[in-house]
Amino acid sequence: MKPDAPRHLRSRLGYGLICLVFGAALVYQFVRTSQMASEIAALTDTMGAATAELTADLHSLRTTVTQTNTTLIAALNNQQQNVGNIQQQLGSVQSQVGNVTGTVSTLQKLSQTDPELLKKYSKVYFLNENYVPARLTEIPNAYEYSSKKQLLYQTDALPYLEKMINDASSSGVTIYVDSAYRSFDEQKALKGDYKMTYGAGTANSFSADQGYSEHQLGTAVDLIPPGLGGALDDSFDGTKAYTWLAANAYKYGFELSYPKDNSYYVYEPWHWRFVGKKLANDLHNQGKNFYDLDQRVIDTYLASIFD
Ligand SMILES: [Zn+2]
């Protein structure tokens, strides 16, 4: 080039070069930006797909958990129902065992209880002349009106008699036992004496014939308070002893066998018979007399007479 080449040509060349470089940079930048944009778009797509996949997985997991829960709850309910059924069956078996045990214990008690103890004996009902209670115990002297007589009483019923007299005493009411067990022969002798003294007609009105007396059972007693001079008559029902007995004797298992205006015997306010708490209580509550009940009804109380 000539040293004097026009300066403006050189500067134009330089300018064009700069423009070219700048244009190339712009193109590169454009290409690079486009590439990045497409990479971002691809990345966004990938992330979208991954998110969708995760969402689907999560949904599937939730469904599985829900299904598993439902299955477990159903299984648990089923088990609970089974346990309930088993408990019900067990309860039924236990109640059956209880019933059998109850029946066995009732039968045992019945086999050990004198069947005569709750039979009706009076003018109408006859007690075997050979009958003697299997268990008799002497009543302690403290309870006897006269220490001259040795009184016997049915062994199992004696604690009830003693408790009744003790409780009466605690309430300020003194009661003694004047007569208790009498054998067939004793009753026969007694009746014979009465007939001699009062004549047969009069004696029959207040003294049972042998075999018809509750005293032969060993569970009947003639009670007497002090102050009557040892005599037993209708005036007994005007005593504190009678008032207390009428209000309380049933609690100890005693009933008044021959109450006022009964149709089977003379009135004997002093004569009390042990029939067991349950029967005495029912008689008291229902206002009934022992001899008014049907024997079959009375028999249902035999097993529980000493309860
Ligand atoms: Zn009597």
pTM above 0.85, yes or no: no
Of the two residues 203 and 19, the one the predictor is more confident about is: 19
Q: CB burial class (10 A; 0-12, 13-18, 19+) of residue 208?
A: buried
Question: How many other CB atoms are there within 10 angstroms of residue 239's CB atom?
Answer: 20
- 282 alpha carbon to ligand 1 midpoint, in Å? 22
- 258 alpha carbon to ligand 1 midpoint, in Å? 9
Sequential DSSP letters for 166-226: HHHHHTT---EEEE----HHHHHHHHHHHHHHH-HHHHHHHSPPTTS-GGGGT-EEEEE-T
Mean pLDDT score, 7-29: 79
- 5 alpha carbon to ligand 1 midpoint, in Å? 173
Say if residue 100 is in the same domain as residue 144: no
Which residues lie at CB < 5 A from ion ligand 1? 222, 271
- 215 alpha carbon to ligand 1 midpoint, in Å? 6
Say if residue 205 is in the same domain as residue 274: yes
Average pLDDT in the chain: 86
Assign residue 119 the CATH number of its domain.
Answer: 3.30.1380.10
Say if residue 93 is in the same domain as residue 201: no
> Which of 248, 224, 246, 247 lies closest to 236, judged by CA?
224
Mean pLDDT score, 206-232: 83
Least confident range from 40-54, 237-251, 260-274, 293-307: namely 40-54
Q: Would you say 225 and 240 are in contact if contact means Cβ atoms under 8 Å apart? A: yes
Say if residue 130 is in the same domain as residue 62: no
- 207 alpha carbon to ligand 1 midpoint, in Å? 9
| Residue 18 token pair | 């700069």
- 170 alpha carbon to ligand 1 midpoint, in Å? 25
Say if residue 60 is in the same domain as residue 148: no
- 286 alpha carbon to ligand 1 midpoint, in Å? 24
> Which of 213, 217, 195 lies closest to 204, judged by CA?
195
- Per-residue pLDDT tens digits for 56-73: 888 888 888 888 888 888
Say if residue 36 is in the same domain as residue 170: no
Q: Would you say 219 and 157 are in contact if contact means Cβ atoms under 8 Å apart? A: yes
Say if residue 141 is in the same domain as residue 283: yes
Say if residue 132 is in the same domain as residue 148: yes
262-to-226, 244, 269, 273 alpha-carbon distances in Å: 27, 21, 12, 16
Mean pLDDT score, 7-21: 78
Q: Report whether pLDDT(40) > 70.
A: yes
- 100 alpha carbon to ligand 1 midpoint, in Å? 40
Query: Which DSSP helix (H) or strand (E) runs through 158?
Result: helix 158-170
- 266 alpha carbon to ligand 1 midpoint, in Å? 11
- Per-residue pLDDT tens digits for 140-157: 999 999 877 789 999 999
- 220 alpha carbon to ligand 1 midpoint, in Å? 6
Of the two residues 237 and 13, the one the predictor is more confident about is: 237
Of the two residues 220 and 88, the one the predictor is more confident about is: 220
State which residues form the domain around 13: 1-112
- Per-residue pLDDT tens digits for 111-151: 888 888 898 876 566 666 778 899 999 999 999 998 777 89
Mean pLDDT score, 184-209: 71
Question: Which of these three, 112, 141, 161, is where a domain ends?
Answer: 112
